[in-house]
């Protein structure tokens, strides 16, 4: 049977236009712009916990910022998944890749305003969702939504793009590009955006990144040939010309500060590709406060199900 699908018709936006263009450029997605097998380490490490949560609750896991790599892994492990995205072309790509995956439920909706019920899911995962928000002030709204949508004590696995502190200036990045310290167009583009960002709260306009690239000569054919940047990677930059689209990048400290009221950090891992040190994957567990305990008891009475937090050997927080 094919995946089930529901379209809640999120309002058209510049952001959805931007990601629709990105969805039509699959060859442009290379690490760090997409996850690698290294980034699935935490998924594999805690796969049994995700499976047990589903078996005990009868609920699905929730995937935001859906990528083929993440969803392929979920299917291989026999997980029941609801993927939520505001961009229908991205969902169509996943649906085309898995036309017979009956355990996949596709939800077209805005992450920040979805009306899905409280405690509808038993774990969550996402890739690059913070950067996608555009402005850091929405990060708390997203964390609150994830917290609301999950059962108490659920696991959350998020790969994030973070910026170094202090953040290198644009001139320093161009110098590293010339010396070969930065190799891929994806790594350079993301780090350049980070350097141009006034603050995490404000984010950075993609048109500003594109303007800087254009004025620097990086988009010229001779430069691309010199650095062996293929056309597939470069075509994605046409999406950067979309007006009123922003990306945002927290430092690791900022990310932890925002997540802490909602989630307990349990583990962190890094890939081995270029710029992987700025793409950590973090494992969280939703906090159980006095308020959520009351709500948890209410849900338990209704559903005859108790979601007990799993036991873990908690890794020390890294600051790599």
| CA nearest to 154, candidates 308, 47, 314, 27 | 308
Question: Residues of the chain with pLDDT > 70: what percent?
Answer: 88
Q: What three-state secondary structure class fits 182? A: coil
The tokens describing 146, both together, are 């994830």
pLDDT value at position 304? 30
Question: Residues of the chain with pLDDT > 90: what percent?
Answer: 65
More confident residue, 289 or 119: 119
Distance CA 17, CA 245 (A): 9
Lookup result for tokens 């293929």: 230
Q: What residues are paired with 264 via a beta bridge? A: 285
pLDDT value at position 1? 87
Domain spans of the chain? 4-162+251-303, 170-245
Lookup result for tokens 């010339």: 178
| CA nearest to 65, candidates 144, 150, 132, 110 | 132
Average pLDDT, the chain: 87
Find the distance separating the first CA and the last CA of the chain, reported in whole Å: 44
Checking if the pLDDT of 22 tops 90, the result is no
Distance CA 7, CA 34 (A): 25
Please list, in sequence order, all residues whose beta carbon lies within 8 angstroms of the beta carbon of residue 57, skipping any fewer than 6 positions away.
122, 151, 305, 307
Distance CA 288, CA 295 (A): 10
pLDDT digits (tens, 9 = 90+) for 55-100: 999 999 999 988 888 999 999 999 999 999 999 999 999 999 999 9
Tell me which of 10-19, 30-39, 261-270 is least confident.
30-39
pLDDT digits (tens, 9 = 90+) for 200-252: 999 999 999 999 999 998 888 788 788 888 776 677 677 888 888 999 999 99
User: What fold does the segment set 4-162+251-303 form as a domain?
Assistant: Rossmann fold (3.40.50)
pLDDT value at position 213? 92
């Amino acid at each position: 049977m094919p995946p089930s699908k529901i379209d809640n018709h999120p309002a058209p936006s510049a952001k959805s236009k931007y990601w629709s263009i990105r969805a039509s450029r699959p060859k442009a997605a290379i690490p760090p712009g997409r996850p690698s097998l290294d980034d699935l380490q935490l998924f594999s490490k805690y796969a049994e916990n995700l499976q047990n949560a589903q078996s005990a609750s009868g609920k699905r896991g929730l995937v935001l910022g859906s990528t083929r790599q993440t969803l392929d892994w979920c299917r291989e492990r026999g997980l029941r998944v609801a993927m939520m995205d505001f961009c229908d072309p991205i969902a169509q790509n996943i649906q085309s890749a898995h036309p017979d995956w009956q355990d996949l439920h596709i939800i077209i909706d805005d992450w920040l305003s979805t009306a899905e019920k409280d405690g509808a899911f038993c774990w969550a995962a996402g890739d690059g969702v913070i950067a996608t928000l555009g402005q850091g002030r929405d990060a708390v709204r997203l964390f609150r939504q994830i917290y609301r949508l999950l059962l108490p004590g659920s696991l959350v696995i998020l790969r994030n793009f973070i910026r170094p502190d202090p953040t290198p200036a644009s001139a320093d990045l161009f110098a590293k590009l010339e010396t070969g310290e930065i190799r891929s167009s994806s790594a350079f583009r993301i780090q350049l955006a980070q350097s141009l960002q006034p603050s995490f709260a404000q984010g950075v306009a993609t048109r500003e990144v594109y303007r800087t690239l254009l004025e620097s000569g990086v988009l010229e054919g001779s430069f691309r040939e010199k650095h062996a940047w293929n056309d597939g990677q470069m075509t994605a930059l046409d999406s950067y010309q979309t007006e009123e689209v922003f990306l945002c990048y927290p430092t690791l400290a900022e990310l932890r500060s925002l997540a802490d009221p909602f989630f307990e950090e349990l583990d962190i891992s890094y890939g081995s590709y270029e710029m992987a040190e700025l793409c950590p994957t973090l494992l969280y567990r939703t906090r159980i406060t006095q308020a959520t305990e009351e709500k948890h008891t209410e849900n338990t009475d209704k559903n005859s199900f108790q979601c007990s937090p799993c036991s873990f050997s908690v890794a020390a927080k890294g600051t790599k």
